[in-house]
Amino acid sequence: EFKFFMSDEFTLVDCCFAPILWRLPSIGIKLPVNRHLKPLLDYQKEVFKRPGFLDSLSSLERDLKED
């Protein structure tokens, strides 16, 4: 099990994948909380808390976040 996408290091793949995951709720896609998606949900939490990711968001993108 890796911390990031197929790696223990944050890579370009994570940089591309994270914004897609961030925007899913805004287009009506809500990932269910279940044991099958737990690794993906854990991955999201890990990536979304990174200062670099948070700094990269525009104010409009920050508003997309559902708490």
Return the domain boundaries, the chain: 12-63
Residue 67 predicted with pLDDT over 60:
no
Residue 58 predicted with pLDDT over 90:
yes
CA dihedral 11, 17, 23, 28 (to 10 degrees): -150
Helix (H, G, I), strand (E, B) or coil at 1: coil
What whole-number percentage of the chain has pLDDT above 90?
Answer: 87
Q: Specify the pLDDT at position 2.
A: 86
Closest CA to 17 of 46, 60, 58: 46
Q: Specify the pLDDT at position 7.
A: 92
Q: Which residue has the tokens 């700094």?
A: 55
Question: Using CA atoms, how far apart are residues 47 and 54, in angstroms rounded to an integer?
Answer: 9
**Amino acid present at 53:** F
